[in-house]
Chain A
Amino acid sequence: MTTTNAPGERKIVTFSLGTQIFGIDMSSLIEIREWDEPTPLPGVPDYIKGVTNLRGTVVPVIGLAERLGWEPSAIHSRSCILVVSIAGKQAGFLVDEVSDIVLIDANEIRPAPDVEIGEPSVIAGLVKTQTRASEAQGAAGDIMVLLLDLEALGLTRQMDIAA
């Protein structure tokens, strides 16, 4: 992972979930894995798909779509698991497709509209960028990427409620 970014620049990994494009900070990403059916756990919320073996460590796999309250994503050949580190804990997120790694300017991040009710927003901000996928489709102009706030997605808080 390079640290030679110019000040104010951030590398993000973009991925698609349903029709939306999301992004997470590159620095919290550990690896991208192929989808592999995890071992289901009893007595946990539906969005925890189970646990999987990441080089000897037991890592929970979370269906990000369900976690955000959407329809569960259908598993297909491009489904993959983004293994991230959230506050020292590792978790895998099931996403539909990883699209790109893009460089964004921190100044361009717009705050997320404050519309959510109940739990704190998991969207850290919005940023417009061009991804390879959008270029390939010949789409003119930028696409909107929703930056996820991993800390807010962090499992521990929800776990406490679930447990």
Chain B
Amino acid sequence: MLTAFDILSDHVAAAQGTRGLPNDAAALEALDEVLKNGGAPDATAPVAAPAPVEVDADPFGFVPIAGAIESFDPFGFEPVGVSLDDFDSAPDIAAPWTVTFLPSNAALSNGGEPMLIIRELELLGGSVIGADLSRLPSLRDMDPEHSYIGWTVSVPAAIEESAITDCFDFVDPDSVVTIVRGDSVAPAAPAPVTQAPPLVAPVVSIASIAPPAAPVVAKVAAPASPEAPRVEPASQTIRVELTKLDMLLNLVGELVIRGSILADRLSPKDQERVELPQLSRLTREIQDTVMSLRAQPIKQSFSRVPRMLRDLATETGKLVTLETTGEMTEVDKGVIEKIGDPLTHMIRNAVDHGIESPADRIACGKPPEGTIRLSAEQKGARIFVRVADDGAGIDRVRVRAKAVEKGIVAADAVLSDEEIDQLICAPGFSTAETISNISGRGVGMDVVRSNVEALGGRVEISSVPGKGTTFTMVLPLTLAILEGMIVRLAGQRFVLPLANVVETVQPEPGQVRPTTTTGEVIELRGNYVPVRRLTRTFGFADNDARSPEESLVIIVESETAGHVGLMVDTIDDRREVVIKSLEQNLHPIRGLGGATILGDGSIALILDIEALVGPSSSVRHITKGLAA
């Protein structure tokens, strides 16, 4: 059924000339199948949108005084008022959840069948207690692809709120979903709407039988109005240009800097007065708030995965279910925009290479349906995005053989399991024998790794043969902030990204040895690591005379050159810095990743380790032989 909606939206795309015509014959066949099996017949014709109401009408019988209702059978849709009364009469029990769900107009055309969500809520024990037909136009104006009906669903109090929100994970952002405890939501118009006139009659007759029900009539009407404003907050957002936010961030940063300059000028006695710490706390709070404005739930990136997965499952003939957790984790907008591609590749990989075919899975004693778990969580200043499958795991023998065949590793190289796993990220690597629509081009994981690294993150791979593979993208929480080590070089301060730092060494006499006129190595626990003097790289000749013993060697790790030692004068500090681009007003400078403004208002340049120690630097080539 979902496939049918996907195909439908493909048709829309095709009509707009953006895509080729999808293969709808297969989909129609599948739909026929569904029809034959009598599964969800109401979804085959889009006009059937109101159908769920009728289908769901029977759960209304759950109301404890069902017997009384049955006597008013023609008005069987009416017991809403009674059920509310029932909740009211038991105030010591936590009120059940009342969920109102107003699918966006485009929900049906986007494949977001509201019925499935209602079904999911029913699985949690919920029941539809009312439908809002107020948006329903006259039959002539009705667009069969629009969803006009809103639902009110009552879910037992014992269910966690998160479980309810999970049901709405993939609804269109335009949909209005409110989840409140208690009975505050009165169903706006009980279904079906044609029965509206006799509405009064049953309530009155219930009242005559059961006197306590009488106040309910008022109650049903009253809460409806206070509810109206409560729906509002969901839509109370404003769009702000990113540049304005950035400007605000800059100004707040400046405020912090000026504050600390001011503090330095005051006498110690004045500094202890209460106003200054208060001011600095306030400015810090403003700074944090402004930073958080850029954060968005990662849900945005996750929301397109289900559709992709269904397509992939159809193409490969595999059965895949998706489990997502943590999609409300908030990440910087820049990160969200850039993880889309890596995520796509990782999901494709998981389906194409990870999950086995249903037959193979049964042979291994696994359920025929493979599971892909997509999760996001925040740990400190990093975001972990995981794609885990329960497939076959990485076939290390095959990966190794392929890598040797493609000349990525030497035939006699000794590799650990982890190193072999990392090989699948090598450029040009692919184990697929043929290039398919999904994979085999040998660019996928390479793209994942380079994209993630461009964001200042890394990719971790863990695989257990027969149990599955987990890819983890470890990403910085924000692109604007970097954790760095402030080092001094020829009197000038530089920021060294902490992510690259392995260790720092105070060289003993003789530990750093010259190899050529310009090259040096440092002996480190029996290994020789090439050392670069940054003063020389940057052409600050003035303290070239400084002996290694007076300097510090910071061992950094780089993707292209492995471990390299950088010789600096001293380490000043370790702190989080706000990255300012040099490109904005200048041009990119090789070896510099940007600049930052330190607490005293002065500028420190951020070192780009990859570019500094990268392959184009001549020194590395000389020392490489020794280091290996």
Contact = CB atoms under 8 A, between A and B. Distances in A.
A86 to B, nearest CB: 9
A53 B603 contact: yes
B579 to A, nearest CB: 10
A55 B585 contact: no
B585 A42 contact: no
A156 to B, nearest CB: 7
Nearest to A37: B602
B251 A55 contact: yes
Contact of A155 (B492, B586, B590, B594): B586
Contact of B540 (A42, A58, A159): A42
A53 B592 CA distance: 17
Interface string B532-563: 00000111100000000000000000000000
A52 B226 CA distance: 56
B601 A53 contact: yes
Interface string B584-606: 11111111101101000111110
B504 to A, nearest CB: 22
B295 to A, nearest CB: 20
Given A51-B595, A53-B603, A58 B590 contact: no
B594 to A, nearest CB: 8
Interface string A31-69: 000000011111110001011110111111000000000
Interface in B256-295: none
Contacts of B586: 48, 51, 58, 60, 89, 155, 159
Nearest to A90: B585
A35 to B, nearest CB: 15
Interface in A88-107: 89-91
Interface in A105-134: none
A58 B585 contact: yes
Contact of B585 (A44, A56, A57, A163): A57
B589 A43 contact: yes
Interface residues of B, number: 30
Contacts of B492: 39-40
Nearest to A60: B586
Given A51-B595, A156-B587, A58 B582 contact: yes
Given A155-B586, A159-B587, A58 B580 contact: yes
B539 A56 contact: no
B453 to A, nearest CB: 23
Interface of B: 249-251, 253-254, 492, 537-540, 580-582, 584-592, 594-595, 597, 601-605
Given A53-B602, A163-B587, 20 more contacts: A39-B492, A39-B604, A40-B492, A41-B592, A42-B539, A42-B540, A43-B589, A44-B589, A48-B586, A53-B597, A53-B601, A56-B250, A56-B580, A57-B250, A57-B580, A58-B580, A58-B586, A59-B585, A89-B586, A160-B587
Interface of A: 38-44, 48, 50-53, 55-60, 89-91, 155-156, 159-160, 163
30 contacts: A39-B492, A40-B492, A41-B589, A42-B537, A42-B591, A42-B605, A43-B589, A43-B590, A44-B589, A48-B586, A51-B603, A53-B602, A55-B250, A56-B249, A56-B251, A56-B597, A57-B580, A57-B584, A58-B580, A58-B582, A58-B586, A58-B594, A58-B595, A58-B597, A58-B603, A60-B585, A60-B586, A89-B584, A159-B587, A160-B587
